Amino acid sequence: MAHHKVLFGFHAVTVRLKTAPDSIVEVLFDNSRRDARMKQFLARAQEAGVRLIEADVTRIAKLAGSHGHQGVAARVKEVAQQRSLDDLLDALERDGHAPLLLVLDGVTDPHNLGACLRVADGAGAHAVIAPKDHAAGINATVAKVASGAAETVPYFMVTNLARCLGELKERGIWVTGTSEDAPQTIYQTDLRGPTALVLGAEGPGMRQLTRKSCDALARIPMMGAVESLNVSVASGVCLYEAMRQRQG
């Protein structure tokens, strides 16, 4: 039997309906929910021609592996990533776009990864990069939290993160790591050119080798009692500052 993955929640399933409806095997929906949001979702699914199955919340929760499914879950075929990181960067170079990349070092919590993908999509980042070890992969929880961004933002897991950062630098991409002891703030950092922003997990931060692989370090100024931000919040601060500078 072919391997299928599960998406759940309105955002995650709706984005798949928009981007790759042919990959959807079936959609289970809560037959007791008749509000406007469900009606709109079902109309979109029927228009896409996907198989709809009425189910109770217990069956949907069992499929989703979570009670936060909002009454919607889908079995879907894997959609192959269209290109490699090198292909993506080559295409950006051909089109004259300055890459904006988010690099996550040691982010293992799927909720954090999902939130980072959502922020990356909102800020227009071209890709998110993480090591194959010590990192979360894309699963149903990530897709749910990402609210569809797991389907739109390329996520590349690399064997050796330090080597990958070195290769980015060879392409002229400036690698800026975040650290609370950095001499300058993210607002004093020029993010208008080809940029890779590197963030570590909350608490330990970047690994030492990753830190040494950065061209520069920047910090997010903290004015209150707490010493650090959740990695997804910090990603949002940094990526949106890059977007502000580029639009300005």
- pLDDT tens for the 248 residues of the chain, in order: 456 889 999 988 988 898 789 899 999 999 899 899 999 999 999 999 999 999 999 999 999 888 889 999 999 987 766 579 999 999 999 999 999 999 999 999 999 999 999 999 999 999 999 999 889 988 888 988 888 888 889 999 999 999 999 999 999 999 999 999 999 999 999 999 999 999 998 777 899 999 999 999 999 999 988 888 999 999 999 999 999 999 97
The response to whether 248 counts as a known ligand-binding position is no
Map residue 24 onto helix, strand or coil.
strand
> Does 3.40.1280.10 match the CATH number of domain 85-247?
yes
CA distance 149 to 158: 20
> Does 3.30.1330.30 match the CATH number of domain 4-77?
yes
- Angle formed by the axes of helices 110-123 and 231-247, to 10°? 10
The response to whether 200 counts as a known ligand-binding position is yes
φ/ψ of 170, rounded to 5, equals: -65, -25
Looking at the chain, which residues constitute the CATH 3.30.1330.30 domain(s)?
4-77
Let me know: does 29 contact 74? Beta carbons within 8 Å.
no
The response to whether 173 counts as a known ligand-binding position is no
- Angle formed by the axes of helices 10-19 and 36-48, to 10°? 20
Among 202, 175, 14, 166, which residue's Cα sits nearest to residue 103?
Answer: 175
**Structure confidence by residue, pLDDT tens digits, 60-83:** 999 988 888 999 999 998 776 657
Which whole-number Å values give the CA distances from 26 to 3, 73, 191, 197, 242, in the listed order?
A: 14, 9, 43, 38, 40
Task: Give the E-state strand segments of 141-192 in sequence order.
Answer: 155-158, 174-178
pLDDT score at 2: 56
pLDDT score at 233: 96
Looking at the chain, which residues constitute the CATH 3.40.1280.10 domain(s)?
85-247
CA distance 128 to 116: 9
